[in-house]
Amino acid sequence: MSDKPQSIIGAGVPRIDGPDKLSGRANYAADNLPPNLAYGYGVFSTIASGKISQLSVDEARQMPGVIDIFHHSHFPSLYRTPSSFAQGNKVEETRLPFEDERVYYDGQFVALVVADTFENARAAARRVKVTYAADKAVANLDQGVEANGTQAGSGNHDRGDAASAFDSAAATIDATYRTPVETHNPMEMHASTAWWDNGDLTIFDASQGVVVARNALAKIFAIPPERITVHAPYIGSGFGSKLWTWPHAIATAAASRELGRPVQLVVPRQQMFTTTGHRPETRQRLRLATDDNGRLVSLRHESINTTSYTDQYVETCGSVTKSLYHCPNLTVSHETTQVNRGTPTSMRAPGAAPGLFALESAIDEMADAVGIDPVQFRLDNYAERDESKDLPFSSNHIVEATKRAADRFGWADRKPEVGSMKEGREIVGYGMAACNWEALKMACDARVSIRADGTAFASCATQDIGTGTYTIVAQAVSDVTGIPIDRITVKLGDSSYPDGPVSGGSWATATTLPAIAGAARNALDEMKRYATGSNGAFAGASSDDLEVADGGLRNADGKQVSFADILQAGRYGSADGEAHTEGADSKYSYRSFGAHFVEVRWDPGISRLRVARVVSAIDVGRVINETTARNQVEGAVVMGIGMGLFEATEYDERNARPVNNDYAEYVVPVHADQPEIDVILLDYPDLAFNEYGARGIGEIGVTGLAAAVANAVHHATGKRIRELPITLDKLM
Ligand code: MOS
């Protein structure tokens, strides 16, 4: 980091992509309409298990504008990807589209109609006749365990002897929690627009990871990655559903190659519940035990999640449990069970979001059982080092976060007895929970150019999924070079740029900024070489004698020459720099911390429950942009309220078909459900993690929130709701 004041870092710089988005200039995947574009529309299975016995396209082929209809006996043969995260070619559903006649879930692609217009493709898709031989479908977690048992998962941990410590403890609790399938539901539909040119594939895809998508498609089409360019300049969010390539993108690219013309496919909202991932259903058993002083002596967190028949996806619900509290005897285990649903995927704070609903509810129950205030119980038990890795935390301010949020919230006014805080017809409940997320950082490349016209240009093949990445990259370039934000152009979302990370895991900021800053410094070094060269403005000087100041270079005598003048003097178009930065080391346990405090109001007369107030204190290292960081936590809190009170994808238990797979019946919080949200950003730079000290902020806010709601509901009503969402029927 440069030595000068860090005013641009941390400032609430407005999103530089905001005007493009508000004016409609931002082009999303389905906004690309190349000449001669054909439109695809899917035909989707209406059974969840079995096989296609007959598929007739005769009538559909007669429909206006139909170009071709693909299905399992009319589709090019493709290749599987190893689907390796480490190799960067991951997909979640490894079965290739139209691979055979098998059906593993309702809403699976069974045919793809391509026509001259979207409407003609959709009309023809409805005339494709499919008959099935259906098998008995496995519709939910309990049915899966009964029919298929469980498979071992990953991310397990074991220390001490949790069973015997539990058996000899002073106080114990044993409770099972359940969370339903949640569906990401980003505003922008999943969509792909693809074309081929002399064997080179170009695809605009709604993707949180253009580099991984390119690499996966290269494996699937068995061509070199250099022959594929994936574009995702703008994404209408994804929440994890757009991290990895799904069948529709593969099918679109394949259809385009077969037909020799561009093809576009938009996944209908209903199939975004089936064929583009979801957060799986979980069942989690928590057993906790304390000694006479209310200190945890045993903690067991056993989790089972649903996965598909084609792939194993593990929801690591115990990922936080391993390290949040001091506890010498601890077991975390993850198992999966197969059901007839599409393959699940990461959804904002995977593992931790459902996991902390269970853990932070159980901690509350444990505090209750021993008669200790839940805030005090946590303060007494928080871990001081990561006992699962036997490493110190790089930076951990959870105690301060908890205390500051408690003060701001007014926790001291809480009367502990259930239902004791009344205001008019309403009963007020106060609840809280810790929140936590691992801080991750990947390898990254970036390029920065300072141009003769006084502007700068930065590029990296990461994405801005709406979170503010364009803006913070510009801030980092401005920080290093002194060039004002409005003269910096940032280009992201193109796999031909230097390799950058997927926009996920809350790691884009921590990963991208050091590479951008390094590239900017290297561009400045080149600028200094130009300036000190034979015709340079500082000819004969040493680069070490020059400092960056006011958009140019300055020597010890105070002579200052702008970057533009230096470049023009030497007839250089630009000074360029590239940089490569590595992923995180393992000297510390890098994690982010925080606490949520929630006030609910329960009106038993009309059975109305609402979240009235949330105070969240978040410790994510340095905050790069005050505005976008705060937006991330506010959005996560809203999503946490959805998780707590509303969201669940329901499946018919007789046939495993989703029943509320649309925006009308999948209930998410609306404006009327929003509480006052007060976000405290602690802003302690974590300089062991990266030069900016930033750990990332996208996901932590959704962790723990549903538990804080559930704990507040218990305080108001006396009911412990251990199964999300907390719908009104559970309170009556
Ligand atoms: Mo996030 S679930 O890593 O997009």
The complex's ipTM works out to 0.96
- Asked if residue 707 and residue 590 are part of one domain, the reply reads yes
Reply yes or no on whether the pLDDT at 4 is more than 60.
no
- pLDDT, residue 535, reads 85
Contact 698, 506 (CB under 8 A): yes
Instruction: Tell me, in angstroms, the distance from the centre of ligand 1 to residue 239's CA.
Output: 5
Active site residue 699: yes
Confidence class of residue 1 from pLDDT cuts 50, 70 and 90? very low
Instruction: Tell me, in angstroms, the distance from the centre of ligand 1 to residue 505's CA.
Output: 5
Confidence class of residue 398 from pLDDT cuts 50, 70 and 90? very high
Which residue carries 């609306």 as its tokens?
670
Could you identify the atom of ligand 1 that is nearest to the CA of residue 345? 2
- Asked if residue 511 and residue 380 are part of one domain, the reply reads no
- Asked if residue 228 and residue 128 are part of one domain, the reply reads yes
Instruction: Tell me, in angstroms, the distance from the centre of ligand 1 to residue 307's CA.
Output: 18
- pLDDT, residue 419, reads 98
Instruction: Tell me, in angstroms, the distance from the centre of ligand 1 to residue 272's CA.
Output: 16
- Asked if residue 460 and residue 421 are part of one domain, the reply reads no
- Asked if residue 570 belongs to a domain, the reply is yes
Instruction: Tell me, in angstroms, the distance from the centre of ligand 1 to residue 128's CA.
Output: 36
| Residue 656, C-beta contacts closer than 8 angstroms, at least 6 positions apart | 48, 49, 105, 106, 137, 138, 139, 140, 339, 340, 341
Alpha-carbon distances, residue 231 vs 139, 196, 201, 491, 495 (angstroms): 37, 14, 11, 11, 7
Q: What's the CA gap between 61 and 45, in Å, rounded?
A: 19
Share of the chain above pLDDT 70, in %: 99
- Asked if residue 92 belongs to a domain, the reply is yes
| Of 212, 462, 699, best ligand 1 pocket probe by most atoms within 8 Å of the beta carbon | 699
Which residue carries 């393959």 as its tokens?
343
Could you identify the atom of ligand 1 that is nearest to the CA of residue 506? 3
| Residue 302, C-beta contacts closer than 8 angstroms, at least 6 positions apart | 284, 285, 318, 331, 332, 333, 335
| Of 85, 243, 467, best ligand 1 pocket probe by most atoms within 8 Å of the beta carbon | 243
CATH number where 36 lies: 3.90.1170.50
135 burial (CB, 10 Å; 0-12 / 13-18 / 19+) is middle
| Of 184, 314, 348, best ligand 1 pocket probe by most atoms within 8 Å of the beta carbon | 348
- Asked if residue 627 and residue 680 are part of one domain, the reply reads yes
Alpha-carbon distances, residue 725 vs 182, 356, 529, 707, 729 (angstroms): 10, 14, 62, 11, 11
Mean pLDDT of the chain: 97
Could you identify the atom of ligand 1 that is nearest to the CA of residue 699? 1
- Asked if residue 464 belongs to a domain, the reply is yes
- Asked if residue 257 and residue 117 are part of one domain, the reply reads yes
- Asked if residue 500 belongs to a domain, the reply is yes
- Asked if residue 695 belongs to a domain, the reply is yes
- Asked if residue 540 and residue 427 are part of one domain, the reply reads no
Residues with a CB atom less than 6 Å from ligand 1: 208, 238-240, 243, 346-348, 350, 504-505
Domain that holds residue 550: 18-25+442-581
- Asked if residue 593 and residue 577 are part of one domain, the reply reads no
Model confidence pLDDT, tens digit, residues 58-74 = 999 999 999 999 999 99
Alpha-carbon distances, residue 732 vs 474, 489, 673 (angstroms): 52, 56, 20
Could you identify the atom of ligand 1 that is nearest to the CA of residue 465? 4
Alpha-carbon distances, residue 142 vs 77, 139, 341, 355 (angstroms): 37, 8, 14, 18
- pLDDT, residue 6, reads 52
- Asked if residue 447 and residue 417 are part of one domain, the reply reads no
Model confidence pLDDT, tens digit, residues 561-614 = 999 999 999 999 999 999 999 999 999 999 999 999 999 999 999 999 999 999
Catalytic residue among 182, 281, 647, 699: 699
- Asked if residue 355 belongs to a domain, the reply is no
Reply yes or no on whether the pLDDT at 554 is more than 60.
yes
- pLDDT, residue 7, reads 84
pTM above 0.95, yes or no: yes
**Listed residues 547, 566, 581: the one ending a domain:** 581
**Listed residues 581, 613, 633: the one ending a domain:** 581
- Asked if residue 554 and residue 493 are part of one domain, the reply reads yes
Share of the chain above pLDDT 90, in %: 98
Number of domains comprising the chain: 3
- Asked if residue 645 belongs to a domain, the reply is yes
Q: What's the CA gap between 687 and 397, in Å, rounded?
A: 14
- Asked if residue 576 and residue 660 are part of one domain, the reply reads no
Model confidence pLDDT, tens digit, residues 320-373 = 999 999 999 999 999 999 999 999 999 999 999 999 999 999 999 999 999 999
- Asked if residue 704 belongs to a domain, the reply is yes
Q: What's the CA gap between 283 and 141, in Å, rounded?
A: 8
166-172 mean pLDDT: 98
103-125 mean pLDDT: 98
- Asked if residue 481 and residue 429 are part of one domain, the reply reads no
- pLDDT, residue 2, reads 45
CATH number where 452 lies: 3.30.365.10
**Listed residues 562, 581, 600: the one ending a domain:** 581
What is the secondary structure of 488-536 as a DSSP string? EEEE-SBTTSSB---S-TT-HHHHHHHHHHHHHHHHHHHHHHHHHSTTS
- pLDDT, residue 60, reads 98
- pLDDT, residue 216, reads 98
